[in-house]
Amino acid sequence: MPNAGQTFEPLSEEIENTARVVVDAAMKVHRTLGPGLLESVYEACLCRELQMRGIDFRRQVAVPVKYAGESVECGFRIDILVAESIVLELKAVEHVLPIHEAQLLTYMKLSRHRLGLLSTSIRHC
């Protein structure tokens, strides 16, 4: 990732289109299931929806930290890595907190992916 003041090249049209499909799929899952379920339920159903739409993804992708030339396992896992390009983190919470954003940004930096999405499903019924 560039340092402050550096600019990024634009994302490819393919990645932008895939991101739109992911957002649409997440909204469909939330509308269908409604609020009040565990994050794992939304994750499983969103993966099924992505599969039905022909979108490549991997679930619970380990994110090691590189330190002193070695990989250090810190227990970090990306909920869903879409098309080897988009970090998708799911949260079943009422409000997105700074820690949720920090988690997403950490995963993006460590995995060297430029696009991250934070999908929330409100917990209360």
Residue 121 has pLDDT above 70, yes or no: yes
Record the pTM: 0.87
Residue 74 has pLDDT above 80, yes or no: yes
Q: Tell me whether residue 125 is in a domain.
A: no
- Please give the mean pLDDT across all residues of the chain: 92
Residue-level pLDDT at 9: 87
> For residue 60, what is the domain's CATH number?
3.40.1350
By the 8 A CB rule, do 1 and 35 touch? no
Q: Tell me whether residue 47 is in a domain.
A: yes
Burial of 86 (0-12, 13-18, 19+ CB in 10 A): buried
Q: Tell me whether residue 5 is in a domain.
A: no
Q: Tell me whether residue 8 is in a domain.
A: no
What are the tokens at 97? Answer: 């907190």
Q: Tell me whether residue 34 is in a domain.
A: yes
CA 117 to each of CA 66, 67, 79: distance values in angstroms, whole numbers, following the listed order:
23, 26, 11
Domain count, the chain: 1
Lowest average pLDDT, out of 29-33, 67-71, 94-98, goes to 94-98
Domain span at residue 72 reads 13-120
d(CA 40, CA 85): 22
Q: Tell me whether residue 4 is in a domain.
A: no
Q: Tell me whether residue 6 is in a domain.
A: no
